[in-house]
Amino acid sequence: MLSRIESTMWGRRLDYNYLEWIARKADKYDLTGTTFFRDDGSIDVIAEGEEKYLEKFTKRLSRGHFFIRVENFSVVWSNPSGKYEDFSIFEKESSF
């Protein structure tokens, strides 16, 4: 079943490399969507795809990566919009 997540995370050492890591994980699970920095330094992730892969993706995101420590993580599930063709990275919220 197709689904959508909108996730926000805060943590230490969140940088552009982490956005790239998120995009690679999304590609691994064949997800579409986007990730970007909010003006407050947090990261937003919007992803759509098979629910079972979104579940794995969100679990992985909530744990962080190497020296990246996710301190707060939220996720909201909804119906997919179908507007994304691939997974994109935007550096700033305003670019989105």
Query: Which pairing describes strands 69-78 and 43-50: parallel, antiparallel, or unpaired?
Result: unpaired
Angstrom distances, CA of residue 93 to CA of 34, 36, 79: 11, 6, 22
CATH 3.30.70.100: does it fit domain 2-95?
A: yes
Please, what is the average pLDDT of the chain? 88
Paired strand residues for 35:
45, 89
Confidence at residue 73, expressed as pLDDT on a 0 to 100 scale = 85
Q: What is the mean pLDDT of residues 50-79?
A: 88
Does this model's pTM top 0.75? My answer is yes
Confidence at residue 95, expressed as pLDDT on a 0 to 100 scale = 47
Q: What is the mean pLDDT of residues 69-87?
A: 91
4 neighbors 76 (Cβ within 8 angstroms): no
| CA nearest to 5, candidates 41, 38, 35, 39 | 35
Output the six-digit token pair for 63: 């744990």
